[in-house]
Amino acid sequence: MTTPLLQLEGVHTHIGAYHILHGVDLEVPRGELTVLLGRNGAGKTTTLRTIMGLWRASSGRIRFQGEDIGACPTPEIALRGIASVPENMGIFSDLTVCENMVLAARAARRAQDLDPKRLDWIFGLFPALRRFWQHPAGLLSGGQKQMLAVARAIIEPRHLMLVDEPSKGLAPAIIQNLIAAFRELKQTDTTILLVEQNFNFARQLGDRVAVMDGGRIVHAGAMADLAEDEALQHKLLGLSLASHQ
Amino acid sequence: MSEQLPMLSPAATAPKVDKLPTVRLDRLPLLLLPALALAALPLVGSVSTWVTLTFAGLAMGMIIFIMASGLTLVFGLMDVFNFGHGVFITLGAFLAVSVLTSMPTWTESERLSVNLLALAPALLVAMALTGGLGFIFERTLIRPVYGQPLKQIMITMGGMIVGQELIKVAWGPQALPLPLPAAFRGSLVMGEAAVEKYRLIAVALGLLVFAAMSWVLGRTKIGLLIRAGVQDREMVESLGYRIRRLFVGVFVAGSALAGLGGVMWGLYQQTVSPTIGAEVNVLLFIVIIIGGLGSVGGCFIGALLVGLVGNYAGFLAPKVALFSDILLMVAVLSWRPQGLYPVVKR
C-alpha cells in the first residue's frame, strides 16, 4: 500500500478556550480528490487551517510526504507544495486579477514571468480571468472571485490543494463551471482535499470521502460507496442524495 | 512537480461571463485640496498672501507626509500602533544638527549645489541610523507584543521616552539651533508673492518620496506584497511569503523615512529640541487617521490638507489654528468614518 500524501493522526486543535478538533485521523491519498463532509461547526475548516499552520495543533501529528509539518510556519508549508483556497477566497481586492496571479506565482516578478502555457490552460478553465485581467479583483462577482482563488492555487504546480467550500453562495451555473474545472484538475493528478457541505457537488468530484462530526472523523471510505448508500447518508449527514437532486 | 496539462472539455471552456462594474477612481478626496485652496482665496483676500500661505501649507504637508508615510504602512501591514514613531524624527533632526554643523564651509556657501551636497549626507546618515534604530526597536519592543494593541501603545510610548532621554544624554537637554544652509534662506519673489526657497525644496523632496513610494508599491513585487499584506496577511503567508520579514523591512523603511522627515522638520523649525518628535506625533496620527489607516495615498492627501488648513487658519484665525487639525479630522471622519481612502482589511 502506498503512503498517503497527507496523514493526520490524533490531531487536537484548541482556539482560545475552545477545543475544536478532538483527535482527527485522516488520510489523503496521492492523486485523488478527497472530500471532507460534515455539518456546520463539525471542524472541517479548522482541519484545513490546522494543516496549513494557520492554527497550531495542540497535539497529534500532521505528515506531508512522510515528514511532520505540524510545527512548520505557514509559509514553509506553502513552499512544500500545499496550496490553499480558503472559505473567504482570500482575494486581494485592491490588486488586479493579474497582480493576484503574479503574487501566487512565487518565482514571477511581473506578469511576463508567468508560464504562458499554464496561463493559457487557466484561461481555458476560467475565461473570465483573461477578460478581466487588468481589473481590480474586488470588482469581480462571487463566482469569478472563486475562479481566481482556484486559479491562484494552480498557477504553479502543487502537490496538494486545500479547498474550503468552493460552491458556497454560488449560482448553479457557476457551480457547474467549477465542477468542470475541478474535473480538469483531477486529470493532472493533483491531489485535492475539498471541504464541502453541498453533497451533490461533492459526489460528482470525490474519489474518497471523510465525514466529520464533533471535531472527529466519523466515517472514511470511497465516495461511490456513500453515494449509493442512502441509509449511511441519513446516518452520517442526515440527508439522502435523492433529496438533493 | 511537473505535470501534463489536459485538453479542455467543452464544459470548462464555455462559462457565462458577466460584465464588471466600471473602474472609477475616487476623485472626491483629491478634489478637496483645490476646493480648500479656492475656498480660502476670498477669505485671505490678497492673492499674493494666498500664494505664500498655500506654498507654506503644501511644504509643511509634504514634510508631514514624509514623516507619517511609514507609520501608516506599519499600522496597515501588522495593525501595530507605533506611538514611538516620534523618536525617529527626533533622532533624525539631531543627526542633522551634528552633520550640518560639522560642515560649516559647505552650509555657509552661497551656492545651492554645495548646500545640497551638505544636505545629502545629513539625510543619508539620518536615514541609515534611524533605519538601524527601527530594526532594533522592532526586534526588542514590537515583536513581543504583536496582536496586543494596549501593550503596543504602552511599550512604544515607553520606548520613545527612553529614546528621548538617551538623545538628551548624547546632545544635551537644551534646544539646539539648526540654521538653514545659506542658499536655502530667503524667498523667491513672484510678483507680490514670496515663496520661501526651503519650502520649494521641501515640496520637491516630498513629491520625490511620494513618487518613489508609489513606484515601489505599484510596480514592484515587494510593493505588491505590502499592498496584499495590508489587506490579508494570512493569505500572503498561505502563498508562501514570510510576512514578518516583510514587516521588518517596512518598519525599517518607515523609521528611515521618519528620520528623513526629522531632518526636514528640524530645518523647517530651525530649532531642534528633544521633544520635537513627540510634539509632532499626535499630528501624524491625525494625518493617517484622516487618510485611512494603511493608505499611502490617503496619507499624502491627509498631510497636505493638514498643512493647508494649519496655514490658512494660522493667518485667518490664529486661535482656531490651535485645534484646526482636530476640526479637520472631525469633519473628514463625519464624511468618511474610515478616512479618505479606507483600506479593505480581512
| Chain-chain contact of B346 with A139 (C-beta, under 8 angstroms) | no
How would you classify residue B270: left for phi > 0, otherwise alpha for psi between -120 and 50, otherwise beta?
left
Q: Mind listing the pLDDT tens digit for each residue in A78-122? A: 999 999 999 999 999 989 999 999 999 998 998 999 999 999 999
Contact A63, A41 (CB under 8 A): no
Tell me, what's the ipTM? 0.91
Interface contact B9, partner A, CB < 8 A: yes
| Mutation site, A92, A156, A164, interface B, largest B CB count within 10 A | A92
- Using the CB atoms, write b or e for B183-196: b if 16+ within 10 Å: bbeeeeeeeebebb
Q: Is B5 on the interface with A (CB under 8 A)?
A: yes
Contact A180 B12 (CB under 8 A): yes
Nearest to B310 by CA among B323, B299, B298: B323
pLDDT at B9: 45
Query: B222 at the A interface (CB within 8 A)?
Result: no
Q: Are A217 and A26 in contact (CB under 8 A)?
A: yes
- Angle at Cα A193 formed by Cα A191 and Cα A199, nearest 5°? 125
Q: In this complex, which of A74, A95, A181 lies closest to B228 when CB atoms are compared?
A: A95
Tell me if A78 and B6 make a contact (CB, 8 A cut-off).
Answer: no
Q: What is the mean pLDDT of residues A190-208?
A: 90
pLDDT tens digit sequence for A42-87:
999 999 999 999 999 999 999 999 999 999 999 999 999 999 999 9
Read off the C-alpha cell for B101.
554643523
Kindly list the domain boundaries of chain B, sorted by start residue. Answer: 51-335
C-alpha atoms less than 13 angstroms from C-alpha of A83 in its C-beta half-sphere: 23
Identify the pLDDT of residue B13: 40
Question: Is A157 an 8 Å CB contact of chain B?
Answer: yes
CB within 8 Å of chain B, chain A residues 6-45: none
Chain A residues inside the 8 Å CB shell of B239: 78, 103-104, 106, 152
| Residues of chain A neighbouring B221 (CB-CB closer than 8 A) | 102-103, 108-110
Q: What is the pLDDT of residues A152-194, one digit of tens each?
A: 999 998 999 999 998 888 888 888 888 888 888 888 888 999 9
Residue with cell 528623513: B260
Q: How far off is chain B from A100, nearest CA to CA, in Å?
A: 9
Q: From chain B, pick out residues whose CB is under 8 angstroms from the CB of A131.
A: 17
Interface contact B238-A141, CB threshold 8 A: no
pTM equals 0.85
B225 inside 8 A of chain A by CB: yes
Q: Look at the alpha carbons of A122, A127, A130, A134 in this order and tell me if their dihedral is positive or negative.
A: negative
Question: What residues have CB less than 8 Å from A190, skipping those under 6 apart?
Answer: A31, A154, A157, A158, A160, A161, B3
CB count within 10 Å of CB B71 equals 27
Q: Which residues 240-279 of chain B have a CB within 8 Å of chain A?
A: 240-243
Q: Which residue has the cell 471510505?
A: A221
Residue in B17, B21, B220 nearest the CB of A128? B17
Alpha-carbon span B6 to A230, nearest angstrom: 34
Contacts of B20 in chain A (CB under 8 A): 132, 135, 139-140
Interchain pair A73, B344: CB under 8 A: no
The pLDDT of residue A243 is: 45
Give chain B's residues under pLDDT 70. Answer: 1-25, 344-346
Q: How far lies A39's CA from each of A222, A238, B5, B271, B305, in Å?
A: 19, 9, 35, 67, 52
Fold of B51-335: ABC transporter involved in vitamin B12 uptake, BtuC (1.10.3470)
Q: Would the CB atoms of B11 and A177 count as touching at under 8 Å?
A: yes
List the single best residue of A45, A65, A74, A85 to mutate versus B (max B Cβ within 10 A).
Answer: A74
Top-confidence residue, A235 or B292: B292
